[in-house]
Amino acid sequence: MLLQSNWHLFWFNVALYTFLVAVRRFVDVVVPQRWFDPARRWFRTRRWEHGGDFYRRAMAIDRWKDKLPTLEGRTHFDKKHLAGNQAEYLEQFIVETCRSESNHVRAITSVVVMRLWTPLSLWLLCLAVATVGNLPFICIQRYNRPRLQRALERVERRALANGQRYRPTRLIGEACPDALSAHAAH
């Protein structure tokens, strides 16, 4: 009964949510890349995730993750397919998983403010829709990130074994000063 009398409010919340999604897409590209540092506590893999393996075992994520749509976003970084195994590319991919996870978490939390004007039962429906719509994408990022980090470690070890000194070119963790100047030159 409550939902029938509040469809206009439901659609208002949907429109607001859609607007906030669009705003986040534009804002995320101007947010400093260091905010999406995988070494930050929020983005670190938790012990219970077992390097991302939890998502494969518990959710069979490897079977369905590629069937979900991917949004290239304003950074124009394609996350659908791994396009290389260079350290710089893998570092950027890892950062993009953090950016994407952050965006989806903020999408869910943006519904919290709607509680100010939305009756509880309708707000719970809005929250459930936002959670169901975003949680799979958060899980995908948390599944892929440790896998990409392991691939980056292999590339770094291979470079060191070949006598090359690996130098990060992106702002990830503790970047060296000459890496920062190399990044600025691009």
Interatomic CA distance for residues 125 and 120, integer angstroms: 9
Question: With a threshold of 0.85, does the pTM exceed it?
Answer: no
> 45 to each of 40, 76, 160, 182, how far by Cα in Å?
10, 25, 25, 29
Q: What does the domain layout of the chain look like in residue ranges?
A: 2-185
CA distance 3 to 45: 39
Q: What angle do CA 136, 79, 132 make, to 5 degrees?
A: 15
4-8, 56-60, 157-161, 177-181, range with the lowest pLDDT: 177-181
CB atoms within 10 A of CB 130: 20
Comparing CA positions, the residue from 131, 52, 47 lying closest to residue 94 is: 52
Q: What is the pLDDT of residues 50-71, one digit of tens each?
A: 999 999 999 999 999 999 988 6
